[in-house]
Amino acid sequence: MSNQQKMKNVMKPSGAKFYKCALQVNSHLYNQKYRGGEALDEATYNQNILQTCKEENIQVVGLAEHGDVNSTENLRKLLQENGIIVFPGFELCSTEKIHIICLFPPDKKTIWLNQMLGSLQGTAFNQGQTTDKSSLKYLEIAEKVIEAGGGITYAAHVHEENGLLVVNDGSGGHPDIWQNEKLVLAAQINKEKVDDLELKYRQIIKNQDTNYNRIRKVAVIHAKDVEKPATLKGPLASCYIKMDKPSIEGLRQAFLDGESRIRLYSELKEEKHSKILEFKIFSNFFAEGLHIAFNDNLNALIGGRGTGKSTLLEAIRYGLDIPYQSSEAKKRADDILRNNFTNGKIVLTVYSSRYNKKFIIERNYGQPQTIKNEDGTLSFLSVKDILPEIKMFGQNEIFEFAEKPVNHVKLIEQFLPELKDNIPDIQKQLKENRLKLVQTIERLEELNQKINRENQLKERLHNLKALGLDKKFEEQNIYNKEEAVIKRSDGEFQEIQSLVEELERKISAVDLHYLSVDALKEYINAQNLASLKPVWEKLISELQRAISIIKTAEKTFVTQSNEVKQQWQKAKEQFEEEFQKLINKLPDSGGRKGSDIAREFSQISRELSSMQGLTIQRDNNQKLYDELLKNRKELITALNSEIDQRYDVIFKKVKSLNKNALAGKMQLEVKKWGNREPLRKFFLEIEGFGEKKIQWLNEQQDNFNIWQFVKDIRELDESDLKDKYQLTPGIVSTIKKLSDKKKWELEEIALTETVTIKLNIGTSENPAYKEITELSSGQKCTAILNLLLLNNSDPLIIDQPEDNLDNAFIAENIVSELRRQKEARQFIFSTHNANIPVFGDAEWIGVMEIENGESVLKDENIGSIDNENLRPKIENILEGGKYAFETRRLKYNY
């Protein structure tokens, strides 16, 4: 079986996800005993609880009967048999009369739970005992649950009777208990959201009450007492908790980081963002074909150097053909792929939020992509269609990206899906207009030249006609025709002469010997045949006599014909003499013959005949030229308007970003017409301009407008142009000499906006904003990364985003943005920095290793921070080992 076949349809671990959890489900006894309701049949109650769990998709249940585990044993068994994770436990009341829920690992037996219950009640447990009153304080119960039982606790109904925040004895509350961040991790409320609580409770839970202030906020959950199945359907009975797999450690991590891992019913939002679902790579570098199922949210690849993290990410980029941000990045990626991926293949399954469907993208090394629909049929969409805003940055690529100001505008554009860039289309139309104008001008020049030629020919023809030469030309044509008659007469006579001469030769060649007596003596009819000879002799004699008569006639014809030709030749010579006298009167005759002048006359006539309609053509082309100029003005106006609208949209977005998402961290400034790079390129291509001679562009005021500049080039004299734009005489002279074509090219240039990025290098209380050009490499990356992490529905992939950044910034800035964005956007990072996967609370952490020279990512090395098997590897790779981590913690007095 091939590697591809082995990997087909294999479920791969995809990290942490939200589980719907009901963590305070009671037994069938609770309704009557504590609520004064009707007694419920256990079997019916248990079945109804199970059915409700299935209907409500409740996957995790916490059993919390008051001081009793025996009454929930059958319910526990039924739920577990039907695939529901159950945390057994109970509810107790501390000596401060505070209710506390205690939950334990699913594998704890009833006997053990009863023993634990007895120890927490402060007295030996007796069979059948169901009291929830403990002789221990709240914190003592919580500590014993954690340290002795491996369990976890949370404060029940904190804002109601017997709740941690409710003062039952008038003592003033329990801030000392609330502020114990190790033992008080979570609080249950019976309101849909915290904002619905009374002000005093709301302020405490939001960490706004100085008397109850904590470093880390208490996690807030919904876990309303379930006394009957119907209650389980309510929004307050359950909440969503993110875990790698449901476990006590999963609950602990969730309670430690409720902001990331807990969602109340009203808070969970279904975000249909685009994502990379699966990635498969077949290459000699990756063992047995690597197969990954990524999480929808934050994914972190970790591992020692050389374990294949960069290769894996560059392979994803190659498979999706994601553009590089610099030529240096492409070269580095090419080297990585050439060394580790030659003859390899990539298969990616992606989900596009724009099309609300999955696509399968395959690519062999050195070949184009193949994109298929989920059913296997070919798709005609491109990755640019499917994931238009997906971005990847390799090592140091963010810094290289930061160095190019043109990229800063692109970062803002990603937040403006409504921004339609019509500028290239208008510029294309302007270019087409310019080409037509050039063609029309060339045609007009050609027509004008022809019209000038026509006028010259007409004048020449007029001069010829003024001397009466036109009539002589007609007579000359007649003489030419007469000459043709004479030539024809001579020709036909010569043909007759030739025939007579040929006849004479034939007669002379006749030999009558074959009719003699000697020649015929052997023939039977010799006498008869011999009589033919005199007949022939008579014929020959008559023919000779006739030929003699013909030759006499020829001589007479020649004499008479010559007399005719001499008379005609005399008349012709007299005509030519008179004709030449008229020719000589021409000022430019130059001694030419009349025949030459006649040919000229004929050529002029023919040429003039072919020139009919030139003036109409010129007028039509002039109209076309005028229409093109009018259309050009309209296009220039449209281009100007488009740039204005684009600036307005970007300006408003920047203003919003400064006020909201970037407040206290960064500030952006937009300069209209600030991008003069296209103008620089234009002038550098003109002979006479170099880098020094275009410095004046940088010195122009912010309101420098290219269309006004072109207008001034056309209309102002050199002196005024020099003064207005502070130019040198040489530059002015060169600019003024620009052809219309170059001026048209110049006015097609769109000077769009620039965005200046400023980073707050001070504090939120005392901000100090510094422009990106003045920042260190690390600060530049900080600024760019801030923008990259803002809203976008397509994945962001970064190889070691911590490069050039300090830990403080990562912990305080990057991590907070990742946590805010990750439910609405997929992130895939490789990192050596613990802050990103740990403080960022990565849903998916993959530990890459090298075995036998091959890169491996084992299923058991994939999970979230609450995966207890994975945690030692995370500690070793990111923290330098458990000992180093604990040493640092103790030194910092944590």
Q: Are residues 302 and 257 in the same domain?
A: no
Given 614, 634, 653, which residue is the final one in a domain?
Answer: 614
Q: Closest Cα partner for 274 from 820, 795, 844? A: 795
Q: Can you tell me the distance from the alpha carbon of 854 to that of 22, in angstroms, rounded to the nearest whole number?
A: 44
The mean pLDDT value for 699-719 works out to 89
pLDDT digits (tens, 9 = 90+) for 379-420: 999 999 999 889 999 988 888 888 888 888 888 887 787 778
Q: Is the residue at 588 inside a domain?
A: yes
Given 614, 645, 680, which residue is the final one in a domain?
Answer: 614
Q: Can you tell me the distance from the alpha carbon of 876 to that of 304, in angstroms, rounded to the nearest whole number?
A: 10
Tally the residues of the chain: 894
**Buried b / exposed e along 146-184 (16+ C-beta atoms within 10 A):** beebebbbbbbbbbeebbbbbeeeeeebbbebbebeebb
Phi, psi of 301 (to 5 degrees): -90, 125
Q: Are 802 and 767 in contact (CB under 8 A)?
A: no
pLDDT digits (tens, 9 = 90+) for 235-248: 999 999 999 999 99
Task: Determine the pLDDT at residue 229.
Answer: 94
Q: Is the residue at 268 inside a domain?
A: no
Of 170-174, 283-287, 516-520, 580-584, the one with minimum mean pLDDT is 170-174
Q: Can you tell me the distance from the alpha carbon of 534 to that of 546, in angstroms, rounded to the nearest whole number?
A: 18
Q: Exposed, middle or buried, 625 (CB in 10 Å: 0-12/13-18/19+)?
A: middle
pLDDT digits (tens, 9 = 90+) for 80-108: 999 999 999 999 999 999 999 999 999 99
Q: Is the residue at 417 inside a domain?
A: no
Q: Are residues 143 and 251 in the same domain?
A: yes
The mean pLDDT value for 573-593 works out to 71
Residue 889 has pLDDT above 60, yes or no: no
DSSP character string of 529-587: HHTHHHHHHHHHHHHHHHHHHHHHHHHHHHHHHHHHHHHHHHHHHHHHHHHHHHHHTST
**% of the chain with per-residue pLDDT over 90:** 56
Instruction: Give me the long-range contacts of 724-731 (CB less than 8 A, separation at least 24).
Output: 725/696, 725/700, 726/696, 726/699, 727/696, 728/696, 730/688, 730/693, 731/689, 731/693, 731/696
Q: Can you tell me the distance from the alpha carbon of 336 to that of 286, in angstroms, rounded to the nearest whole number?
A: 13
Q: Are residues 237 and 347 in the same domain?
A: no
Place of tokens 């580095």: 332
Q: Is the residue at 36 inside a domain?
A: yes
Q: Are residues 331 and 195 in the same domain?
A: no
Q: Can you tell me the distance from the alpha carbon of 286 to that of 857, in angstroms, rounded to the nearest whole number?
A: 9
Task: Work out the pLDDT band at 124, boundaries 50, 70, 90.
Answer: low
Q: Are 877 and 848 in contact (CB under 8 A)?
A: no
Residue 159 has pLDDT above 90, yes or no: yes
Residue 439 has pLDDT above 70, yes or no: yes
Q: Are residues 337 and 470 in the same domain?
A: no
Task: Work out the pLDDT band at 595, boundaries 50, 70, 90.
Answer: low
Q: Are residues 325 and 257 in the same domain?
A: no
Structural domain count of the chain? 3
Q: Can you tell me the distance from the alpha carbon of 166 to that of 157, in angstroms, rounded to the nearest whole number?
A: 9
pLDDT digits (tens, 9 = 90+) for 191-200: 999 999 999 9
Q: Could you tell me the sign of the dihedral formed by the alpha carbons of 647, 650, 656, 660, in that order?
A: negative
| pTM as predicted | 0.76
Q: Are residues 73 and 220 in the same domain?
A: yes
Q: Are residues 246 and 304 in the same domain?
A: no
Task: Determine the pLDDT at residue 586.
Answer: 67
Beta-carbon contacts of 674 under 8 Å, excluding residues fewer than 6 positions away, are 702, 751, 752, 753, 754
pLDDT digits (tens, 9 = 90+) for 143-154: 999 998 899 999
Place of tokens 């009557």: 32
Task: Determine the pLDDT at residue 6.
Answer: 43
Task: Determine the pLDDT at residue 45.
Answer: 95
The mean pLDDT value for 335-339 works out to 89
Residue 130 has pLDDT above 60, yes or no: no
Q: Is the residue at 456 inside a domain?
A: yes
| 688 vs 155 pLDDT, higher one | 155
CATH code of the domain in which 357 resides? 3.40.50.300
Task: Determine the pLDDT at residue 154.
Answer: 97
- Dihedral through CA 196, CA 198, CA 204, CA 209, nearest 10? 120
Q: Are residues 256 and 299 in the same domain?
A: no
Q: Are residues 253 and 322 in the same domain?
A: no
Q: Is the residue at 76 inside a domain?
A: yes
Q: Is the residue at 746 inside a domain?
A: no
The helix, strand and coil proportions of the chain, stated in percent and rounded to the nearest 5, come to 50, 15, 35
Q: Are residues 338 and 240 in the same domain?
A: no
869, two tokens:
């098997």
pLDDT digits (tens, 9 = 90+) for 467-506: 666 777 777 777 778 888 889 899 999 999 999 999 999 9
Q: Could you tell me the sign of the dihedral formed by the alpha carbons of 404, 409, 415, 418, in that order?
A: negative
**Buried b / exposed e along 502-534 (16+ C-beta atoms within 10 A):** eeeeeeeeeeeeebeeeebeeeeeeeeebeebe
Q: Are residues 27 and 157 in the same domain?
A: yes
The mean pLDDT value for 870-892 works out to 64
> How far apart are the two ends of the chain, measured CA to CA in Å?
54
Task: Work out the pLDDT band at 594, boundaries 50, 70, 90.
Answer: low
Q: Can you tell me the distance from the alpha carbon of 503 to that of 405, in angstroms, rounded to the nearest whole number?
A: 105
Task: Determine the pLDDT at residue 2.
Answer: 44
Of 38-52, 285-299, 770-784, the one with minimum mean pLDDT is 770-784
Phi, psi of 795 (to 5 degrees): -60, 150
The chain-wide mean pLDDT, for the chain, equals 87
The mean pLDDT value for 462-471 works out to 69
CATH code of the domain in which 251 resides? 3.20.20.140
Q: Is the residue at 531 inside a domain?
A: yes
Given 263, 283, 311, which residue is the final one in a domain?
Answer: 263
pLDDT digits (tens, 9 = 90+) for 65-84: 999 999 999 999 999 999 99
Domain membership of residue 569 as a residue range: 446-614
Q: Can you tell me the distance from the alpha carbon of 87 to that of 332, in angstroms, rounded to the nearest whole number?
A: 51
